[in-house]
Amino acid sequence: MKNFQFIILLLGISLSSNSCENLIDTDLPYNQIGTEQVYADTQSANAALSGLYAELWQSSVLSGDTTGSGAILGTYADDLTCFVEPSSNSITDLYNNIQQPTNNVVYSFWSRAYQHIYYTNAIIEGVRASTGIPQRDKDRLIGEAVTIRSILYLYLQQMFDEIPYTSVTDYNYNSKLSKLSEPALLNQLENDLQSAIPLLEDAYKNPERIFINRKVAELLLAKVHLLKGDWHKAELLLSGIIQAPEYTFENDLTKVFLKTGSHILWQLKPANATDATKEYLLYNFTVSIPKTFSLSDQLADSFEPNDLRKQKWIQTLVFNQKNYYRPIKYKNPANANTNEYSIVFRLEEVYLLYAEALTQQNRPNEAALYIDKIRQRAGLTILPMQTPDTMLTKIKDEWRHEFFAEMGHRFLDLKRLNQLQDLNISKPNWQSFHKALPLPGKELLINPNLKPQNTGY
């Protein structure tokens, strides 16, 4: 893959030295990330890893701007309406579901994710080879890097189906990689996460929860189990997270997106103090038709009457006698943000995944307890008795109403639930093969071992 030709551009290009000052105590030697000097001691290795976290916020699968899964998958599915100026091979093609292997957004998403995977592999190799880092610190650094790498791979797999996997930085090896099937990739991620979990602790390295802990890795492993149909294994992991003393369900809907919540598993810190979240900036329109995205009419119309999430998390704006819907989960503008970070994982996701795992084991009434907790916070009534099939439909609805405009949930949740056909109603060009994006044509030219192209493209 072409991306592995680069020594590791990764951070120095996109972040100034000030960008990381709130995360690390030493400057990150961007142009030497693979050298022995970076891993001479714990402090310098922490700097390298903190730089990766900063890059995840800045421009990555997890970023809250147009480079991240929230915008890309939100408009690819039916949660967002795209107002970006139409052009060939852009995000407007994804919105219209007419993407081709030459699509620039698809290529950028793929290449950026593999750049970050290269970065995690460089950290893991460097830390393992270090003679100056104590073993406990080595364990933590490797555990965090492996978990981040697993998140990146899981997004890539869900978006592209069969993808190449590597855990090394050797260019000659990486340039000839073949694709792994979905079962093989999920098995690999299961093994990776099982190796990472014992290396991590439940206690957070930073009280702001901006670094990965053991429960984040366990959540990711539970997702892998769900994708494999291992419902009981997922149930056990998710139950452990729910019962962990580090987490408390947030009963106040207006406080869900405050950075101090004990319902947060992991969040990304803006580069500088008082910076707005990228999510706020992306969806900030107030006086004219949106320039990027709004929430779709279908989403706005799908809420039950009196759902407080529609009242508290969506702003309706009227231009030329038409309603436009703006997500306002994040509310603080630039230079005025003191209490919001970009949340990646929160306890409500654990509840819904747990409800899925129980329902898939024919236990819908147990699942209802966790769905009702979220519904009651939103001002809705508890659910009556459900069959497993009707409960899965209710869970699907709660995913949409709880996690709209967050981390690509709509597409990922529908795919995991085998319900992508729902998009036939709201997306005129949607076809069954759109369950996977096209592999970037540039990558197939560089590495023929990645062929064949995904079906339909």
- Say which residues have a Cβ less than 8 Å from residue 149's Cβ, sequence separation at least 6: 117, 120, 121, 124, 167, 192
Helix, strand, coil percentages in the chain from 3-state DSSP, rounded to 5: 55, 5, 40
Q: Quick count: other Cβ atoms within 10 Å of Cβ 192?
A: 21
The predicted structure's pLDDT at residue 34: 56
Helix axes 347-359, 364-377, angle to 10 degrees: 150
Reported as a single tens digit per residue, the pLDDT across 217-252 is 999 999 999 999 999 999 999 999 999 999 999 999
**Per DSSP, what are the bridge partners of residue 309?**
none
CA distance 387 to 275: 46
Residue 315 has pLDDT above 60, yes or no: yes
The pTM for the full model equals 0.92
* Run of H or E residues at 265: strand 264-268
**DSSP letter, residue 118:** H
d(CA 295, CA 79): 6
Set out the domains of the chain in order of their start, with CATH numbers.
2-270+342-426 (1.25.40.390)
Question: d(Cα 283, Cα 280) in Å, to the nearest integer?
Answer: 6
Average pLDDT for residues 208-224, to the nearest whole number? 98
Please report the pLDDT score of residue 21 as a whole number. 30
- End-to-end CA distance of the chain, in Å? 20
- The whole-number pLDDT of residue 186 equals 98
Running DSSP on this structure, what letter comes out for residue 132? S
Per-residue model confidence (pLDDT) at position 33: 58
Residue the block writes with tokens 């990645």 = 450
- The fraction of the chain above a pLDDT of 70, given in percent, is 92
Question: Residue 35: pLDDT band by 50, 70, 90 thresholds?
Answer: low
Token pair listed for 457: 């493209």
